[in-house]
Amino acid sequence: MFSRPVNLLRRSLFLTLNRIKMICKNYIVTGEDVNDYMVMEDTAYISYTIRLLYHFLFHNGFSKEKLNYMHLGLQEGNHELIIHKNLMFTEHFLVEMKHCYIEDKINIKSCFFNSKNECCAEVTKEVKWFDAIGKEVIKTPNQILRHFYPKI
């Protein structure tokens, strides 16, 4: 039987997933997303990244209602935003989850592309699972982890 520490297995899966487009979604920059100069604000990039994570979870059978039933929430942590080109009011764009690395916390990377398929921004976001009953940050539950790493 092949035995290997789980952390090494997760790291190798991370490298594999890094090359695969996990999920993407089209959006339009709305009035809520922009500043007075009609440029998309930093907080909007973070918000769309979290929305995409919720969309990914929903696609895998974990709706917000099911997460509430399981007494689970997401607690946002640190993030890094790199803007290459501004997205403007009413502009169509695509958000693509490039990778998702899960251990005690979730680290995701999303890229934002304009209608010309130019990479306009990259967000690296840290998210933790929050147990609403115990009021504490917890590890990713196994039934959710299986959707990110099917071979575990």
For 40, counting Cβ atoms within 10 Å of its Cβ (0-12 exposed, 13-18 middle, 19+ buried), the class is buried
Q: Where are the beta strands (DSSP E) in the chain?
A: 23-28, 72-83, 92-102, 106-114, 119-131, 136-138
Phi, psi of 99 (to 5 degrees): -155, 165
In a domain, residue 97? The reply is yes
**Residue 76: per-residue pLDDT:** 94
Q: Which domain holds residue 81?
A: 6-148
pLDDT reading at 149 higher than 90 = no
> Using CA atoms, how far apart are residues 93 and 115, in angstroms rounded to an integer?
6
pLDDT band at 30 (very low <50, low <70, confident <90, very high): very high
Residue predicted with more confidence, 93 or 58:
93
In a domain, residue 100? The reply is yes
What is the pTM (predicted TM-score) of this model? 0.80
In a domain, residue 1? The reply is no
Q: What is the CATH number for 137? A: 3.10.129.10
Residue predicted with more confidence, 118 or 18:
118
**Residue 151: per-residue pLDDT:** 67
Number of domains in the chain: 1
